Amino acid sequence: MDIRIGYGWDSHAFKAGVPLKIGGLAIEHPQGLAGHSDGDVLLHAITDALLGAVSAGDIGSFFPPGDPRWKDADSSIFLNLAMEEIQNAGYRVVNVDTTLVLDQPKIGPVAAEMRERVAELLGIVPSNVGIKAKTPEGLGADNVAQAHAVVLLERIEDPGELQTMSAVMQSQRELEDVVRDLVSQVHGVPVRAPFDTDDIT
């Protein structure tokens, strides 16, 4: 069996006046995570883990933080690009294990829903998604959320499975089109497809 392992890490500071989104979920909290996109620290870490597993670079090389097209963008777009990269390399996700490090909010009450959302985005069953949370005790990082992610990939041997993954990716691309239109309308910035090779640095 041909397998790959990828590791990703990300961090964002909390900031008042912005919505909090972690693992693709909107969470009620007085502060959100500062970032050029929606600040979803968990999806960013998973995205980097996927890209790293197939030696495809990192999230910043595809989506530069200073690019106005990705201002407030939904991080599921970033994750979808990583899924396309591993598909193009001939792999699929077996499982992912993650750890969130933050003081607040408590992740336990939403962990099951977060697991389901991440599983949906990765095209795997929720039982193959690990969501854990730890407090930053002794780290002096109470106003920061960090995320660690490890993914296991295996090579796709069945061409039929690759076709199924392609159908899932097409559905995700349709979602991206909607998000890009919304970003363009809000910011008045023309949004090109994120897979233009001219954008890769």
Count the Cβ atoms, other than its own, within 10 Å of residue 127. Answer: 9
Residue 199 falls within a domain, yes or no?
A: no
**Domain annotation covers residue 106:** yes
Using only the alpha carbons of the chain, give its radius of gyration: 16
Phi then psi dihedrals of residue 80, to 5 deg = -65, -40
Of 136, 131, 130, nearest in space to 101 by CA? 136
CB contact at 8 A, 151 and 53: yes
Residue 37 belongs to some domain of the structure: yes
> In this predicted model, which residue has the larger pLDDT, 169 or 49?
49
Q: Which of 23, 130, 5, 18 is CA-nearest to residue 76?
A: 23
How many domains does one find in the chain? 1
Structural domain includes residue 196: no
Let me know: does 162 contact 115? Beta carbons within 8 Å.
Answer: no
Single-letter amino acid code for the residue at 145: A
Percent of the chain topping pLDDT 90: 57
- Asked if residue 29 belongs to a domain, the reply is yes
Does residue 102 sit within a domain? yes
Domain that holds residue 95: 3-189
What's the pLDDT score for residue 198?
39
pLDDT tens digits, residue range 167-201?
Answer: 555 555 665 665 555 445 545 545 444 434 333 32
- CATH code for position 88: 3.30.1330.50
In this predicted model, what pLDDT tens digit does every residue of 58-80 receive, in sequence order?
Answer: 888 888 777 767 676 788 999 99
Question: pLDDT averaged over the chain?
Answer: 83
Query: The pTM is what?
Result: 0.77
**pLDDT of the residue at 194:** 41
* Rounded distance between C-alpha atoms, residue 76 and residue 104, angstroms: 23
